[in-house]
A and B are shown apart, each in its own frame.
Chain A
Amino acid sequence: MATPKIQISGLAKTFGANRVLDGVDLAVEAGESMTIIGQSGSGKSVTLKCILGLVRPDAGSIRIDGEEIVGLGERDLARVRAKFGMLFQGSALFDSLPVWRNVTFALTQGRARDTARMRAIAQENLERVGLGPEVLNLRPSELSGGMQKRVALARAIAPRPEIIFFDEPTTGLDPIRADVINDLIMSLVDDLGITALTITHDMASARKIAHRVAMLYQGKIIWHGPRDRLYDSGNPYVDQFVQGNAEGPIR
């Protein structure tokens, strides 16, 4: 079998007295679309930040294309990060820069150059998320929450990374926009061969975009399987979660 694109084993992270990750094991194959579900506060975003080297795990191993990245120095981490795009849960747009500079930041890396070409690239990527050229010169604070999310999405896909992390890509969007984003993620995976790791609370989205689904509960992956098994996983925790029951093994 080929080396997984992302291989996590025994990942652990504690903040103060709060044990967030307690031995996460997960493998994502190249070209796969994997979705992580789990309760609010269960450590989904922290898992992504560990993989990006933004949070240092206490223990465990993270391999990207077989290369161990836990313990790498800043320079090597920067090289590995070139493979990634990340949509942050709160968009995290740079509010001092106009939209088009935000979208092309990965290409300019903050330098002020290639204005005309960068504007064209920004416009093309904004189109993919359903935004027109009228937003190019706006500041992020002048956009609605859903528009900010889509600009952030355009920023994540602009450099055409090998792997993209989507942290709740459809939260805060109307159902039609949400489905446009689902289609976008699927086309990135199917047409461009990108590996996608998506966090979502949106079960309709999970069913549409995921090849496989994993559930994070109390610091561990307690279940993973193909999306068709999501509604008959035989796991009482997954059942309760996907059906949104207040009653069940989850407190």
Chain B
Amino acid sequence: MTGKRLAEAIISFFAAIGRIAIRSLATVGRATLFAINAIRRGLTPPYYPHKWLEQLAHIGWFSLPVVGLTAIFTGAALAQQTFTAGSRFNATSTVPAIVVLGIVRELGPVLVGLMVAGRVSSAMAAELGTMRVTEQLDAITTLRTDPFRYLIAPRLFASVIALPLMVMIANAIGIFGGYLIAVYKLDFNAVGYLKVTREFLEASDFMMALVKAAVFGFFIALMGCYHGFRANGGAAGVGEGTRNAVVSAFILILLSNLLITVMAFG
């Protein structure tokens, strides 16, 4: 009797795990199909150049203040931390090296990715989700315009282009933030600091940062569009889509960042 109940409990436990696994696989499959559809249709005419520019401005230009702010403070804090930790074993000269490597390889791309995901994935999901529940997406289709070409492709491509540009800017600002603290607070020699920075600044690191940024940009727009597109059930559905977009974009950014880092250095 208890044996049977135990067996049932074990079976239902594995059934629950199986259901979750199947559901996640189904989501990954649907999102992949969505992405393939968007890319395939986005690469064939008609194109909407004004929509691409509009999205570049939305994603890139208007995100710059928050990205710049994050970068300068993080660079400064990183310099201070490295100095404090390094002073315990007379290694304070590593400050410029750690700042440049830390910012360019990891912090620049990841911080920009997360900041923009919070700002842009949510906005895209909310906008497209509202269009879904107010039947604007149906209206676009009946007016013989493909929402994938008109709405999704411009967002995806603009995001893939904007993120690398923003990461370049953030890297420069982050390194500058470290420089400010090092030179004006920690009494580093300005010329010497810049010289070490230059020595540790490698093209391959920059390339990796840009690849990461492009991948993050793709996931940011993909999750925003996918969850917005699938929204249903009024305002609550839009809210849920928005939350799912941000959470899934965060997860994808962190996972792909680790994957790229491991592939590059592993």
Contact = CB atoms under 8 A, between A and B. Distances in A.
A74 B149 CA distance: 13
A102 B134 CA distance: 15
B134 A90 contact: yes
B48 interface: yes
Interface residues of A, number: 26
B145 interface: yes
Interface string A62-74: 0000000000001
Given A88-B139, A92-B134, A111 B144 contact: no
A82 interface: yes
Given A110-B150, A111-B48, A92 B144 contact: no
Contacts of A74: 146
Interface residues of B, number: 19
Contacts of B135: 88-90, 92
A94 interface: yes
Given A110-B150, A111-B48, A112-B50, A93 B142 contact: no
B29 interface: no
A141 to B, nearest CB: 11
A82 B150 CA distance: 18
A105 B145 CA distance: 9
A109 B138 contact: no
Interface in B179-231: none
A84 interface: yes
B81 interface: no
A94 B127 CA distance: 11
Given A84-B142, A96-B127, 16 more contacts: A52-B138, A52-B142, A78-B144, A81-B144, A82-B144, A86-B142, A88-B138, A89-B135, A92-B135, A105-B143, A105-B145, A110-B145, A111-B46, A111-B48, A111-B50, A112-B50
The 3 nearest A-B residue pairs measured at CB:
A92-B135, A92-B139, A112-B50
